[in-house]
Amino acid sequence: MGQSSPGRYENDMSISLLADAGQRLEQALKYTSLSDDAIASLRHPKASLTVSIPVRRDDGSLSVFQGYRVRYDDSRGPGKGGVRYHPSVTLDEVQSLAFWMTFKCAVLNLPFGGAKGGIAVNPKALSRLELERLSRGYIAAIADFIGPDVDILAPDVYTNSMVMGWMMDQYSIIQRRSSPGVVTGKPITMGGSLGRDTATAMGAFFAIETMLPKFDLIPQNTTVAVQGFGNAGATIADLLFQAGYKVVAVSDSQGAIYCKTGLDIPSVRAFKDATRSIKAVYCDRTVCSIVDHDAMSNADLLALDVDILIPAALENQITDANARDVKAKLIFEVANGPITSDADQILQQNGVYVFPDILINAGGVTVSYFEWVQNRNGMYWTLEDVNQQLQRKMIEEAECIWTIAHSRSIPLRTAAYVHALERLGEAIDAKGTRRYYNGH
């Protein structure tokens, strides 16, 4: 249920995510000529809301959960961002995710600002009825803070189309009118878009396919390790497997499996779906057989000697403590913020190319934008139309960021932020700057 597997993945949440994210902004500002007004605006979230959500449990008891919604910036349009359910959700984390969404939407040139939401909860400990009460209670608490023209919600860690459907329905009940545009990632029958459930992974796949030839690599000779086997991680692993890549390792929050000759990803997914585990693998072809593999930790997976490493779990997976162990030549960030700023410097010194999250996992928000457009127009696209438009935007922006990085001799992450900052700066400056008011 969601975009990535839950679990700690041995990360260090003591690091302030927002402070670390801000270091990327400061680095990129060195290569732009933004106005003081734009810089000041982007250093702080525009609005943050903390709410308490009382939920009547099935046994009659009452539990109160902490919820958050942050709108970081809306200079380019209404806020846009997912809602995650996870025990570790904090205001700092939600603010950081809203910060990243701001830049992600600008990178893909979407008419949105950045927002994010979350509830500190272990959803596995709730029944389906309790989960519905929680989801509807969250919307009741933040209804005045969101809207189709103000702030649009989407799925994230441990939320899915069913949860989004509950949220949209509750908002519509409160508003006394159908409001499908307030939420994306909804069930198709409630105004959802075809392709939204696989959009994050599909966008990443298009970016990988675009960048691979630049390193003289071909799928058949390219080894891949994927950390995180939730919706996004499992789907990108499957897409790469189907395209001929050798996916040698995958992991969930319980650990990793590795096979030097490559894993049968459809079989791994089938086993995971059936048992909620990837500790064993079976073949679902005509003849069922055990596939040899080695068990390892998530830390071991991150240190594998592969061509491509794909972090698709949670934040702060690669830090200054383990960055030197990374042997992959290319990293594609399907998760949000899996690499700290300190680790970035180490990876850069070691010649590792890091393709940043604000580009690589932007397929989800891009197709969410398509869904929002379809809701507003009342006309719905085919899956082929959705994927064609997504492919076009991912290729276009990936090539642009690659060009910026090489023309200015800066890391790809910095190039992505520079690209976004230029668009954000234009939008903020259009409202007036100090230079304008002083007559310069």
Which residues are marked as active site? 116
**Torsion of Cα atoms, 158 then 148 then 380 then 172, to 10°:** 80
Q: Which residue has the tokens 């520079």?
A: 418
Distance CA(16)–CA(315), nearest Å, equals 11
Kindly give, in sequence order, each residue whose CB lies less than 8 Å from that of residue 155, ignoring residues fewer than 6 positions away: 2, 3, 82, 83, 161, 163, 164, 185
CB 282 within 8 A of CB 271: yes
Task: Count CB-CB contacts under 10 A for residue 59.
Answer: 7
Question: Residue 262, exposed/middle/buried by CB under 10 A (0-12, 13-18, 19+)?
Answer: middle
Task: Count CB-CB contacts under 10 A for residue 437.
Answer: 9
Reported residue count of the chain is 440
What's the DSSP call for residue 212? G
Distance CA(236)–CA(217), nearest Å, equals 18
E-strand ranges in 315-385 read 330-332, 353-355
